[in-house]
Amino acid sequence: MKSAFLIATALAAAIASPALAATAKQSTFGRMPDGRAVPAVTLSNGRGVSTTIIALGAAIQSLTMPDRDGKREDVQSGYDTLDGYLTKPEYFGATVGRFANRIARGRYTLDGRNYNAPVNDGPNTLHGGTKGFDKVLWQVTAVKSGPVASVTLRYVSPDGDMGYPGTVTTDATYSLDERNHLTIEYKATTDRPTIVNLSNHAYWNLAGVGSPRGAMGHVLTIPATRYTPVDATLIPTGERRAVAGTVFDFRTPRVIGDSVRDARDPQIGYGRGYDHNWIVTDRVTPDEHLMVRAVDPVSGRGFELWSNQPGLQFYSGNFFDGTITGKKGQIYRMGDSIAVEPQLFPDAPNRRDFPSARLDPGQTYRNVMTYRLFVQR
């Protein structure tokens, strides 16, 4: 009797816990010019979702999910081989830092000392500088299968790296469960006061890689009442402007393509489309909150992005100009994919009224973001 009870209990637990199907498998994506192997880890669940993470840039190389008819497609723009990530990276799926987004003229002051990071975006520093976290080889420190499949990668950025003070140790953990939740968690510590702002630069085309529709037909919802306008070099002016009555109002679902080229608003002209920060909250929060909802009405593929960060940078792929050939031989054009990046506000080190990017010894920086994938019937 007892044996029968135990068997029945185990069977019920197995039925109630389909997450046991989640797996993590390691392979090699290629080799660096110096001969070092680039590990890749593929996380898969029992519901047809899988994602491959590569150690170069701790990046999402692919993410495959079904549409409403069950057809599985990769929804991440990028490259099929390592060569593209080495020769023209474009931040595809990458971890960006030490400071994600822009710093005006690459300059900031910390504890009375001036620091300079290399400029690589007109007069400004973008995503850490000329060799940010997206362009280095991370170390795979843990690979796990089970109820939640995961991979953890680490990069130790030395003191003075790209002009930033302090040795910063960063762990990036990607995990996939049976609810179709893909979670990315960044943690960082330092041995000296410094600045840290990390995010993931996944490029989404929910229609599927190679689809001629691109991403401009995606419907976006952003629960923010304000955004931070920028100058002509895409640095925030310091104003917190209401979205009401503007092309930046995504509080109700809005098709991206309906307003992405509406240059009657000078802000659209500055960015050649959307490349702005929405103020979702005023500070980093203990728990995750909704940042954005995106759906491709044709395929039904979509996601909700939740995070503990205050800002959402929405970039509508404005600078793809047909000079990049990506997966399946597709030439990437303006609007073929979008990026939505939870983070602190751009140029935060130079704005005392923005949420602070300062990290001190003994503290742990944390950015957690969860893509809740779904199919709209």
Catalytic residue among 73, 90, 178, 341: 341
CA–CA gap between residue 104 and residue 106 (Å, rounded): 5
Catalytic residue check, 239: no
Catalytic residue check, 201: yes
| CA neighbor of 60 nearest in space, from 205, 210, 184 | 184
Strands (E), 102-207: 102-103, 107-110, 113-116, 125-126, 139-144, 149-157, 168-176, 181-190, 194-195, 199-201
Q: What is the DSSP string of 42-88?
A: EEE-TTS-EEEEETBTTEEEEEEEE-TTS-EEE-B-S-SSHHHHHH-
CA–CA gap between residue 245 and residue 18 (Å, rounded): 46
**Burial of residue 91 (number of CB atoms within 10 Å: 0-12, 13-18, 19+):** buried
Catalytic residue among 201, 239, 288, 304: 201
CA–CA gap between residue 302 and residue 340 (Å, rounded): 13
Q: Residue 252: how many CB atoms within 10 A of its CB?
A: 7
The kind and range of the H/E element at 8 are helix 2-16
The residues annotated as belonging to the active site are 201, 341
